[in-house]
Each structure stands twice: as C-alpha cells, then as structure tokens.
C-alpha cells in the first residue's frame, strides 16, 4: 500500500519508512512534484498536522498523512512549541534554533522539556489523529551528530544520551514520532482498508 507523507523532509521520510511494515511504501511531496511549502498557520501542533493533510486532500485528492512536531520547554512556557522549526527565524536553521534555546536557558536550572508529535491521517475520506510524547530535558550544550532538528540538545528521560547520539532504530524505539506512528500503524493494520 502506498501512502503519501505530506513532507519534503527526507530525514523524516526515512525515519518513518523504517518504522513501517514492508507492505507499506511512503511517497513524499517530492514524488508528486509539489515544490511549494504547505501552509502551517494553525496556532497548535494538531492544527498544523490537520491543515497539511487537508491541503493534500483538497488539491490532489490523495489519501495521505501529515505530522507536526514541537519541542515544549517548561521554563520557556512551552516554547518553541508550534514554532519549533522557525524558532530563530524563517530560515528554519536547526543550529540557530538550538542556539536560541540554549541562550534562553543559560541561567535556568529547570531543563524539563518534551517532544510532541501529532499525526493527521486522512484515508477513505476519514480523518484520524495520533499523538506521541516523550519527556526529557535540554542539555547545556549540543552532543552527538546523528538525527536532525533539536536532537543534539534533547535527552529523553532516563536515557543519559541525546537523540543525536542514537541510531535511527534506537531513536525510533522511544521517540515522540515513533510513538505516534506506532499508533497510526496499529490502526492501519487493524482496520479494513
């Protein structure tokens, strides 16, 4: 079964393809030649996931899923949250985003944070939402070279390593995205699609 993942982020697509059973194949926005960014103007992570899915349905009529993820830091009142990708500006530069977080937390002992992913799946004209959350903390500096986004500064609870120090398989076994996708995959396997 082919499913369109409403992203052009190949890192995300590889991560998700790695989670799926062999009979599912992910295609991305690159495969349908969509070059422009899908609007993400909702005030919530859930809203952005739904907005992306609805954009594909309304413009292409293809069953699809979309995700949105946010890093929520307790000491920053939930920032960067829905603005995680563009926290330090519209360039969406991961290093700039991490540097801004580290700067804002430099005199703060509360490093509690969580990653939250929401997946919106539209299949057979029905919308389904799946959520994954992983609790953790923000490190004082970047550690590790694997992964992407905020992975070098986020250490999952009871782990002792950042996501950027883990293989894709290790990260997927405990990550917010992995947890949300497990729920979606379970739904797909157990429904009569």
Average pLDDT, the chain: 91
Long-range CB pairs of 107-111, under 8 A, 24+ apart, other chains included: 108/75, 110/74, 110/75, 111/75, 111/137, 111/138, 111/139, 111/140
Active-site annotation holder among 67, 68, 93, 96: 68
Residue pair 115/101 in contact (Cβ under 8 Å)? The answer is no
Q: Under CATH, to which class is 2-190 assigned?
A: alpha beta
Residue pair 137/112 in contact (Cβ under 8 Å)? The answer is yes
Between residues 169 and 52, which one has the greater pLDDT?
A: 52
* Predicted pLDDT at 22: 77
* Predicted pLDDT at 83: 93
* Predicted pLDDT at 23: 78
* Predicted pLDDT at 130: 97
Q: Where are the domains of the chain?
A: 2-190
pLDDT at 117 over 80: yes
Give the pLDDT confidence of 49-84 residue by residue, as tens digits. 999 999 999 999 988 999 999 999 999 999 999 999
H or E segment to which residue 191 belongs: none
* Predicted pLDDT at 193: 57
* Predicted pLDDT at 47: 96
pTM, 2 dp: 0.87
Give the pLDDT band (50/70/90) at residue 15: confident
Residue pair 146/97 in contact (Cβ under 8 Å)? The answer is no
* Predicted pLDDT at 25: 85
**Is 67 among the residues known to form the active site?**
no
Give the pLDDT confidence of 17-44 residue by residue, as tens digits. 877 777 778 899 999 988 888 888 999 9
């Amino acid at each position: 079964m082919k499913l369109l993942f409403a992203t052009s982020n190949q890192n995300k697509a590889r991560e998700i393809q790695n989670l799926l059973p062999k009979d599912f194949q992910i295609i991305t926005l690159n495969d349908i030649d969509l070059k422009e960014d899908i609007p993400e103007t909702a005030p919530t992570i859930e809203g952005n996931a739904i907005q992306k899915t609805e954009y594909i349905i309304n413009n292409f009529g293809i069953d699809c899923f979309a995700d949105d993820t946010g890093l929520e830091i307790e000491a920053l009142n939930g920032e960067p949250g829905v603005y995680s990708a563009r926290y330090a500006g519209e360039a969406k530069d991961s290093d700039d985003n991490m540097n801004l977080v580290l700067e804002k937390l430099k005199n703060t002992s509360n490093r509690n944070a969580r990653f939250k992913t929401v997946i919106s799946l539209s299949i057979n004209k029905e919308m389904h939402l799946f959520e994954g959350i992983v609790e953790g903390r923000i490190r004082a500096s970047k550690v590790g070279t694997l992964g992407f986004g905020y992975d070098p500064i986020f250490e999952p609870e009871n782990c002792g390593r950042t996501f950027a120090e883990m293989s894709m398989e290790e990260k997927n076994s405990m990550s917010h995205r992995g947890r949300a996708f497990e729920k979606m995959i379970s739904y797909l396997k157990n429904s009569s699609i």
